[in-house]
Structure formats: C-alpha cells, structure tokens
Structure 1
Amino acid sequence: MAVRKVVTRSSCHFRGYFPSLKNGHSVAWESQLEGGFFRLLELSPDVLRYEVQPSRERFRLGDSFVDYVPDLRVFLANGGEWWFEVKPEKKLLIKSVKQKLEAAMVHFSETNRSFSVVTDGQIWREPLAKNLRSILYHRRGPLLSQSDLAELILKLDKYKPQKLEEVVSVFGEMEAWRLLGLCIIGVDLEKPLTHKTPVFLSGGHRHANLFA
C-alpha cells in the first residue's frame, strides 16, 4: 500500500492509472514517465509485481535529516526486491535533487537494499518505447490458466516457431501479439518489431539490464 496518496486533483502533474496484470489491479502513476516505466516492468520476466510510493525513508543529508518516499518497490522472480526513483534527466542536473538521490543511494546501500534511478533517456529510448506500447496495446484478457498455458506450451514445443511470422501462422495475428503481451514468447525489445523478428520460447522478453 502506498505511504501517501498518489493521484490527487491538487497538482499540475499529469496523473492516472495503469491497468496492471502483474498486480491484479490498476496502479496509480504521477507522471507519463512513471507510466512508461510500468510498461517495462509489466513485460520484464524478472518482475513478479510492484508497489508505488512503497515506504517512507529517513536519512542524513548534510547536517540534517530528510524524509524521502521512493517511487517504486519491485518484487523480483528470484525473491529479491529493488527500489526505484523515476526522474527526468534534466532534474538530475539540479544540485539539491542530485544530492538527495546520492544520499538515498547511500541509505539504501547501508540497509542492504538495491536502489536505482531510472530516467527518461532509458524509458523513452527507441525502439524500446514503441515496442512496449505496441505489445501492451494488443494484450487482452486475464492471465492464462495453468491448463491453457500447458496447452500453449505443448503447441509451441510442437511447432517451435523461430520468427514472429511463424507464431502468427500457428496462432493467428491477434493471439500471437497476446502471447507477446503475456510474456509467453519473447523478443528483443531493443530492435524494431516486424514479422521477421526472432522469437524466444524461454526466458521471456529481453529488457533493459535494470536488475544487474
């Protein structure tokens, strides 16, 4: 649960809700940049779920203590957790912002927790951003049941498609894109998506190395 209310009417920030399958409910975001990062988390095989405004931290900054609320806490498939701040690159040029985030880095390190700052340069880079929008646009319906998933895996194992066009020929256009959106098959998100795009039948989508 968020430690403070995310979506309000009293701010000039553009705010809304992201329909998250991984969380099983819509997730509030405070900026389009955060919404863009949610897309990456939704399509990362390393991510089980995530929380916004997850904790209230207190640490020393210079001669005083400051309160800080990270943007996200991400729960990973390997059992680990990762905290994130989502910031435009230009904001990092502001001395006070830079100093606070540097102090946050030290604080999380001293408490044995992983923490990273993600910027618009990482989230909006192309063709990654376009690929994320395209895949999530075509994602429809709930997560697959165990029986449906088992049936799909058997079919994939039978035909062993190596390119997106081969997945389309087996499942049809809409279902092929849905399989991408549900991370049943993976692609290299850093390259333009075409029917000739190679697909991966294990390992999920290729994504930014955010959890190294």
Structure 2
Amino acid sequence: MPVRKIKKNYRNVTGVSSATKAIGDAQFESTLERDFIRLAEFSPDIAKFEVQPVKISWVDATGAERTYTPDVLVTFSNPEISKPWLCEVKYRADLKKYWPDLHPKFIRGIRYAKQRGWRFRLITEVEIRGPELEAAKFLLPFRHKNIPPRQVHQVLNLVEELKVTTPAALLANISSDPYTQAEWIPALWLLVAQFRVGINLQEPLSMTSRIWSLE
C-alpha cells in the first residue's frame, strides 16, 4: 500500500488511475506519472506495481533527518529474467533543475534497492511518451468492452488463417459492408490489447498496420 496519500494541488495534475495491477491505490502526482501507470497496466511484462511503496530515511552529513519516497515499485511477470524496479518518474528538465537536492535521494534509493535485490531506475518522458503509450491509451479500454465471444473467436481464427495481414484487409475478409466492418473491428482491437494478436507497438496504430498470428 502507498506509504503516504497524495494531496491535490494546483501546480500538478493529481488523481487515482483505474488499474487492475496496482497494489493499493494507483495515485499519481503528474501527468507523467499517470502515463507511466498506464504503460505498466498495459504491459504484458509487468505483473504488479505499487505507487510510493516505501519511505527511506537517513541522517545527512549535517545531522539533519532526511526522507525519500520513490514513485513506483514494479514487479515483472517473469522474476527469473527481470528483477523488480524501484522507479523514480521525473521530467528531464526537473532532474536537471533539482539535481543537487535529488541526487542524495537517488543514492539512497540505489542502496535500498540493491540491498533487496532490486534495480533502481530513473524513468523520464523519453522512456514513457511515444507510440507504445499512444497504443496503450487506445487499446486499454477495449479490454473492458463487452464484445460477443463469437466475434472474438472468428476474428482470432481468421488472423490465424491469414498469418500476416492488416486490420483493413482482415475486415475485408469478413464483409465488404463498412457498417458490418465497424461492428467487427472492436473484436480485433480486443485481441491486440490482450496480446493474442501481434502488432508493432513502436509504430503508430492504423488500419494498415501489420498484424500477425501468435499461434
């Protein structure tokens, strides 16, 4: 559970994301943290994550008591391959601007993570914001849509039959009627969102994106 509650403020966007993988509330203090949570929720490699999981305390060289609360602890689906990440999510401009204050905190974060067999990671907008985030924004809602199982199975079978295709070509195999195609496309996006159909998430999604069978 988060070690502290994030308060509303008028400088940054704060709130709580809806996330099935979150341990406790998926709170965020900025749009960048919100986007990181969205990526974590979307990624098949991440099993669980916890916002503000620990508070690290120490006494500095002047004798003053200091504390540091990292942003997110990420646990991966295959712990034998990937150790948990203790993450700090920051804009690059803020890292540069506040580095003298942040650096001692990060040193403590690195030590804390190493003692537990974790990795400490600085995550910025460079790692977060890109085509995969845009795909996550688009695809995540399809995971919660009530789509007829018959459509899902038929689309999956068709992708397996075609091996490699595009959304536009797949729908053309179902019907030439655009209204019928519009009824069937959510089933495809559900399968992509569930990683049951392959697609390149490092490129913008479109009706001409290459999709392929994972069977």
Structure with more helix by fraction:
2
1:72 Cα offset (Å):
0.8
Q: SS of the residue aligned with 2:57? A: strand
The answer (yes or no) to whether the contact 2:52–2:71 under 8 Å persists in 1 is yes
Alignment: residue pair count: 200
The answer (yes or no) to whether the contact 1:161–1:167 under 8 Å persists in 2 is no
Matched, 1:189 2:201: yes
RMSD value, Cα: 3.6
Matched, 1:40 2:39: yes
CA distance in 2, matches of 1:198, 1:59: 52
Which position in structure 2 is the counterpart of 1:114? 119
Cα deviation code 1:99-141 (max 9, x no counterpart)? 32234223322442111011122222x3333333222354433
Which position in structure 1 is the counterpart of 2:20? 21
The answer (yes or no) to whether the contact 1:17–1:26 under 8 Å persists in 2 is yes
Aligned partner letter, 2:200: D
Which position in structure 2 is the counterpart of 1:136? 140
CA distance in 2, matches of 1:149, 1:174: 9
Which 5+ residue runs of structure 2 have no aligned equivalent? 175-180
The answer (yes or no) to whether the contact 1:49–1:75 under 8 Å persists in 2 is yes
Aligned partner letter, 1:113: W
Cα deviation code 1:133-168 (max 9, x no counterpart)? 2223544338xx9xx999986665445344344555
Q: SS of the residue aligned with 1:20? A: coil
The answer (yes or no) to whether the contact 2:53–2:72 under 8 Å persists in 1 is yes
1:35 Cα offset (Å):
1.0
Label 1:26 to 1:58 Cα distance change in 2 as closer, same or farther (>3 A): closer
Identity %: 23
Larger Rg: 2
CA distance in 2, matches of 1:58, 1:162: 54
Matched, 1:180 2:192: yes
Q: Of the candidates 160, 163, 167, which is equivalent to residue 160 of structure 1?
A: 163
